[in-house]
Structure 1
Amino acid sequence: MVTASQVMLTATERVTLGVPAAEAVAQEAAARGAARVFILASSYLNRQTDEIRRIEAALGARHAATHDGIQPHAPRSDVLAAANAARAAGADLVVTVGGGSVTDAGKILLICLKHNITTIEGFDDYRVRVDDTGAMVIPEFAGPDVRAICVPTTLSGGEFNPLSGATDEAIKLKQAYTQREMVPVCVVLDPAITVHTPEWLWLSTGVRAVDHATETLASFLSNDFCDGIADSALRLLAAGLPAVKADPADLDARLKCQIGAWQSMIPIIGGVPMGASHAIGHVLGGTCDVPHGHTSCVMSPYVQAFNASVNGERQKRISACLGDPSKPASELLDKLIRGLGMPRSLREVGVSENQLQLVSEYTLEDIWGRTNPRPIKTAADVMEILRTAMG
């Protein structure tokens, strides 16, 4: 019997592979007739390397302004400051160059421009909420007039997803925003610009992409198309991440990782909900200041172990992608992550016992808090996973 499903598509028009960032950005800006290009950059790349100067030079007279200063997990105040700078520059195209927080800020910034958000409180009308049943409540609003180009320097994959996150500093909770045209019109995958990314950040966000793929393959709400894409993503990442650790100058391996991260996002964009690793990870980031990638390094194997009693058959494909279908997926994920030198417990990433109750409660408010294969209905269910992950 055929199971009906669908795959959602976004408004990204182009992805360049291996083209130098400055060249790709200049070509896209010219093709779009942009005259006021605003660059939102990683502080490190902007202040410690010449990569942003190269992009500015390639843009020439089209370059209007460059801004940096986005902190991890994109605090609302940082996003608002960037939006104000883009507004002051009269931006008609935004280019983000950096990791996931810079990317998210750049996408949400577009909504700030469109809807004239000028206060922290103004974000509230546009964020996704979760009702008492766990269903997402997505506000409807017009998409941006100004589009973006994203040049990612990590592997979290948010550049392919209209869903973006910013942290409400008042309650220390990372919240979601989404609208189809928030995605960039063009994504530039340039492995050469990623050599500046610290090893821990590259590898940990690579594990974040692994988490995208494994939670797809573990989900009962996936389909053959999304499973196939996730399978390919996981194999590319499982090969590419250790290769980059062994030789950071291996640009072919870096590009394989970038393609794997892209593929890992396609099921999420297509409508496959993630599970508890992502839901808990969002809270660990916004509430406990755990780096984005480290959340998956810690949580992914524990969540797969928690779920194995209900989706063990689906997890066998994860194990096959990781090289041994006879072993539990959680065990193989643990081996991969430890081999990359990443943390494997909440204690290692600075989470204390007295934070667990708040994390468990906030997880139920996350967009994926109720879509785990093994149902999570109460904070006590989340606590079961968290206590195992304390280490």
Structure 2
Amino acid sequence: MNFEHITLGQRVLFGTGKAAEHVAKEVVRHEARRIMCISSEFERSLADKALASIDVALWHSDVVQHVPVETAEKARQAAADAGIDLIVCVGGGSTTGLAKAVALTSGIPIIAVPTTYAGSEATNVWGLTEGATKTTGIDDKVLPAAVIYDAELTIGLPVALSVSSGLNALAHCVDSLWAPKADPINQALGAEGVRALADGLPRIARNPHDMKGRETALYGAYLAAVAFASAGSGLHHKICHVLGGTFNLPHAETHATVLPYVLAFNGPAAPDAAARLSAALRSGMADVSASEGRAGTAEDAVSLLNELRSRLDAPVALRDYGFTEADIPEAVRRVIAAAPPSNPAAVTEESMTELMRAALAGEVPAVRALATA
């Protein structure tokens, strides 16, 4: 083996019912005096619970998905005006993304308290949208100094959003198997993340109050994010950034919808990754029936992912979120420009058009249909 791996330095505090205690400890550890809480109005009650033991100098609730530049500028100015020396963000990926936007230009440390399975809290990746283009970058200033996981804070997350957010995390795992900087360490983390998510998400779908399921899903989402942070952004995330930034499609639902089509496209060209993914899915879904003659293949991995998505009643079609046939040419043009040169399968106008059309209509993802496109 010959590879270079980077593990990001970050404190992780995991404990159901311990969010307020852990936040207070981190405030003391940072010797913070002026704290800004970023949380949407929808999640304010969760923020109140997580920050119950500390004084907050500034509550900021202007959170918008895909972090428009103008939204980021307002938050940056508010933090500067209030003399903030620590940010605590409570919420999903959009909330964490806004905290990162403030940290990017100010260097103010972040304590992240996730309430979804988005995973942004464990990466040093930032994203901002201006006009119709979403730009991402890497900067260690935006990596939260600590992440506080408390499964109790996810109880109010509707099952549908739990599913789409969890599949977004699973997409981090899958991308880490063939992204530009994929290596054996993040591939191992990604595979374990897949196993945990394939175990935890169906538990949540069956019983939203299943704490073991929510803890397992949070654990899997963290592993997914760590793997993604090391491996970098692969084709799946490039596609979803285009769909979100240019067409304003909802983040989690878009990731959940696109994932199986990218797997069906890349899987045949990355047999080792497909085999690893197949094994992880099969381990997580312990009751899945055995395959005959195709275990470990790309076809098997896609079939297992389709089975998981069926159990979760996952999103199936981009048209359900406002994407249209007329949008495909522009999306394809932007995806081709952004796609990693190292992607296992050749990214062409023809292949991406077929992938987009299949995802638009919600066709059952199949290796043969997309691998030969």
CA distance in 2, matches of 1:229, 1:11: 16
Q: Kindly provide the amino acid, as one letter, of the partner of residue 331 in structure 1.
A: S
Equivalent position of 1:147 in the other structure:
109
Q: Aligned partners of 2:147, 2:20: CA distance in 1, in Å?
A: 13
| Residue matched to 1:375 | 346
| Unaligned ranges ≥5, structure 2 | 283-289, 362-373
Unaligned runs of 5+ in 1: 115-143
Contact 2:88 2:113 in 1 (8 A): yes
- Name the residue aligned to 1:124: none
Where do 1:353-372 residues align within 5 Å?
Answer: 353-366=325-338, 368-372=339-343
CA RMSD, 1 decimal = 1.9
Letter in 1 for 2:109: R
Partner of 2:48: 53
SS in 1 for 2:144: coil
Does the 8 Å contact 1:152/1:189 carry over to 2?
Answer: yes
| Pairing 1:165-314 to 2, within 5 Å after superposition | 165-168=127-130, 170=131, 172-218=132-178, 222-270=182-230, 272-314=231-273
Q: Distance in 2 between matches of 1:11 and 1:312?
A: 32
State the alpha-carbon separation in 2 of the partners of residues 353 and 389 from structure 1: 11
The question of whether the paired residues in 2 share the 8 Å contact of 1:343 and 1:349 is answered with no
Structure 2 letter corresponding to 1:90? G
CA offset digits 1:73-105 (Å, max 9, x no partner): 111111211112111211000010010011011
Tell me the residue number matched to 2:320: 348
Quote the Cα distance in structure 2 between the aligned partners of 1:234 and 1:298. Answer: 17
| Aligned-partner residue type, residue 53 of structure 1 | D
TM superposition shift of 1:267: 2.2
The alpha-carbon distance between structure 1 residues 87 and 385, as it changes in their structure 2 partners (threshold 3 A), is same
CA contact (8 A) 1:11 1:184 kept: no
For residue 371 of structure 2, what is the aligned residue in structure 1? none
- The answer for the alignment partner of 2:74 in structure 1 is 81
Change (3 A) 1:307 1:55: closer
Q: Does 1:68 align with 2:61?
A: yes
Structure 1 residue 265 displacement after superposition: 1.7
Number of equivalent positions:
348
CA distance in structure 2 between the partners assigned to 1:99 and 1:242 by the alignment: 20
Q: Helix, strand or coil for the counterpart of 1:348? A: helix
Give the AA of the match of 1:110: A
TM-score calculated relative to the size of structure 1: 0.84
**Is the 8 Å Cα contact of residues 97 and 127 (structure 2) preserved in structure 1?**
yes
**Identity across matched positions, percent:** 28
Compared CA separation, residues 181 and 11, structure 1 to 2 (3 A): farther
Distance 2:94 2:341 in 1: 25
Note the alpha carbon deviations across 1:249-301, whole angstroms, 9 max, x for none: 1122111111101111222222x234322111111111222221212221111
Report the Cα distance in structure 2 between the residues aligned to 1:17 and 1:95, rounded to whole angstroms.
17
Q: Which amino acid aligns with 1:344?
A: V
The Cα offsets for residues 57-82 of structure 1, whole Å up to 9 and x where unpaired, read as: 4103xx21101021111111112111
Quote the residue 1:320 is aligned against: 279
Instruction: Tell me the distance in 2 between the aligned counterparts of 1:337 and 1:54.
Output: 33
Pair 1:103-2:96 in alignment: yes
Letter in 1 for 2:146: C
- 1:101-133 residue CA offsets vs partner (Å, 9 max, x unmatched): 110110111123x2xxxxxxxxxxxxxxxxxxx
**Alpha carbons 1:19, 1:188 under 8 Å: kept:** no
Whole-Å Cα distance in 2 between the matches of residues 257 and 160 of structure 1? Answer: 15
Distance 1:10 1:320 in 2: 27
Contact 1:74-1:104 at 8 Å conserved across structures: yes
Q: CA deviation at 1:365?
A: 4.0
Deviations 1:3-57 (A, max 9, x none): x2111122423433335222211111012110000000122011xx3x3233444
> Which TM-score applies when normalising by structure 2?
0.88
SS of 1:266's equivalent in the other structure is: helix
Asked if 2 retains the 8 angstrom alpha-carbon contact of 1:360 and 1:383, the reply is: yes
Query: What is the letter of the counterpart of residue 275 of structure 2?
Result: K
